[in-house]
Amino acid sequence: MDGGSGLNIMYAKMLDAMGIDQSCIRPTRAPFHYIKPGKQAMPLGQIELPVTFMNPTNYRMETLTFKVVGFHRSDHAILGCPCYVKFMVIPNYTYLRLKMLGPYGAITMGTFFQRGYKYEVECCEHAVTIVTSKELAAIR
């Protein structure tokens, strides 16, 4: 989750992995910035999807609107401020935890530091690959 992002973003590759037909994407013409460094990005469109946190005994489910993008990153989706607001989430970045109210009390979601580190390394490797390929193209 990215509390600094004003968008919920879903990658087209993730929609394919979920078995969602891309014909469900509604067109949009609004570009956004700061996802690709120094460039504006044009989404393929937007889609509304139900998002559920926790398990059947104590859960929250809301429908979120995602901007669908065609480029690749190491994450599956980015949940930004619209998600925080809809779920009334309280993030704790130090412990990689999110807290929200559920019908039967507080719901705490989190991850492991090792998993966070693994994704950070993948993201750095992806960035190095992109920079290296651009530098090789410039040399040629």
Helix/strand/coil for 138 = helix
Q: How confident is the model at residue 120 (pLDDT cuts 50, 70, 90)?
A: confident
Per-residue pLDDT tens for 28-54? 888 887 666 677 878 999 999 999 998
Per-residue pLDDT tens for 17-27? 999 998 999 99
Sequence-ordered strand ranges (E) for 1-140: 9-11, 32-36, 39-41, 45-55, 58-69, 77-78, 90-92, 97-102, 105-110
Please state whether beta strands 9-11 and 58-69 pair in parallel, antiparallel, or not at all (unpaired). Answer: parallel
- Please list, residue by residue across 77-100, b when 16 or more beta carbons sit within 10 angstroms of its beta carbon and e when fewer do: bbbbbbbbebbebebeeeeeebeb
Rounded to two decimals, the pTM is 0.73
Which pLDDT value is given to residue 118?
81
Which pLDDT value is given to residue 70?
86
